[in-house]
């Protein structure tokens, strides 16, 4: 067993343990292995451990991995520039990070109908940090109503990247706020599939699970330290 495979096994054990504490079914929590900047071999090792879902943030970096492993389910977890939407719409099954109706509309228009609807999550900036992408809660409510009508995408829920903290109560409060916002949007618009919460990373996924996360995005705890990311001026996709 490789280091990557043993780390995945340990995280899965922690998911089960936390779900028992939270009185949740472990099946309701999905592990998203964030493989951005990692090579094909790292993804192959994770797939051999039974991992199905992978997250990428840089389109150029993602292309060889998406091509090498079509059996995997690929999630785009970065900000999206308008001129990148066609590839993202057709190479990925999920997008964690919708922040504008313009981008959502382009994804819908450019998605090949034979692929089925693209699953999309609205990114909410709950910590009001200028350097982070995402909309505030009021904007999230309006945006959900706007993009729910688009034909080739399905708005499935919310995503957030909270301000880093080791305070478990502060972590829980942020995740609880996102869950309550999700419930409000689901009720307001009557969206039966608006039931997904992408929240929780390596340092805070336990509290996220306790507060209802359906996707936890784990990178370092699976793959180890990141490789140097692609040059921002060439590869980084900004909102």
- Chain segment 90-133, per-residue pLDDT in tens: 999 999 999 999 999 999 999 999 999 999 999 999 987 776 78
Q: For 148-159, what is the mean pLDDT?
A: 97
The region of weakest confidence among 53-57, 209-213, 215-219, 226-230 is 226-230
Alpha helices per DSSP H over the chain: 3-22, 40-48, 59-68, 85-91, 101-110, 137-147, 168-189, 205-210, 220-223
* Whether the model pTM is above 0.75: yes
Cα 71 to chain centroid, rounded: 18
Interval 8-30: pLDDT, tens:
999 999 999 999 999 999 999 99
pLDDT band at 230 (very low <50, low <70, confident <90, very high): low
The pLDDT of residue 236 is: 36
- For domain 3-223, give the CATH number: 3.20.20.10
Of 233, 237, 232, 229, give the one whose Cα is nearest residue 37: 229
For the chain, domain boundaries: 3-223
Percent of the chain with pLDDT over 90: 86
pLDDT band at 231 (very low <50, low <70, confident <90, very high): low
Q: Which long-range contacts (CB under 8 A, 24 or more apart) does 135-139 make?
A: 135/99, 137/177, 137/181
The yes-or-no verdict on residue 235 having pLDDT over 60 is: no
Residue 34: both structure tokens together: 């964030």
Asked if residues 32 and 75 have their Cβ atoms less than 8 Å apart, the reply is yes
Q: Which is more confidently placed, 231 or 234?
A: 231
The pLDDT of residue 132 is: 77
The yes-or-no verdict on residue 172 having pLDDT over 50 is: yes
Look over the chain and give the mean of its residue pLDDT values, rounded to a whole number. 93
Interval 29-66: pLDDT, tens:
999 999 999 999 999 999 999 999 999 999 999 999 99
Asked if residues 237 and 78 have their Cβ atoms less than 8 Å apart, the reply is yes
The pLDDT of residue 68 is: 97
The pLDDT of residue 229 is: 64
Q: How far apart are CA 29 and CA 216, in angstroms?
A: 7
Q: For 207-220, what is the mean pLDDT?
A: 98
Percent of the chain with pLDDT over 70: 94
Q: Which is more confidently placed, 75 or 81?
A: 75
Q: How far apart are CA 159 and CA 144, in angstroms?
A: 13
Instruction: Name the DSSP class of 115.
Output: G
């Amino acid at each position: 067993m490789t280091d990557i495979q043993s780390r995945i096994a340990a995280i899965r054990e922690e998911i089960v343990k936390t779900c028992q504490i939270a009185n949740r079914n472990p099946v309701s929590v999905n592990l998203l292995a964030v493989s951005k900047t990692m090579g094909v071999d790292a993804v192959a090792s994770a797939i051999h451990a039974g991992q199905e879902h992978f997250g990428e943030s840089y389109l150029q970096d993602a292309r060889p991995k998406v091509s090498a492993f079509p059996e995997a389910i690929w999630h785009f977890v970065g900000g999206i520039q308008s001129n990148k939407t066609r590839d993202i719409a057709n190479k990925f099954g999920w997008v964690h990070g919708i922040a504008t109706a313009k981008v959502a509309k382009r994804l819908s228009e450019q998605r090949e109908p034979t692929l089925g609807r693209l699953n999309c999550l609205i990114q909410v900036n709950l910590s009001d940090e200028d350097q982070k992408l995402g909309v505030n809660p009021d904007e999230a409510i309006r945006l959900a109503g706007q993009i729910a009508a688009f034909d080739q995408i399905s708005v499935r829920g919310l995503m957030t990247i909270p301000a880093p903290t080791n305070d478990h109560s502060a972590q829980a409060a942020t995740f609880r706020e996102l869950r309550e916002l999700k419930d409000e949007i689901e009720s307001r618009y009557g969206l039966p599939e608006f039931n997904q919460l992408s929240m929780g990373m390596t340092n805070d996924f336990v509290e996220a699970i306790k507060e209802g996360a359906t996707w936890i995005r784990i990178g370092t705890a699976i793959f180890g330290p990141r490789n140097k990311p692609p040059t921002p001026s060439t590869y980084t996709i900004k909102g």
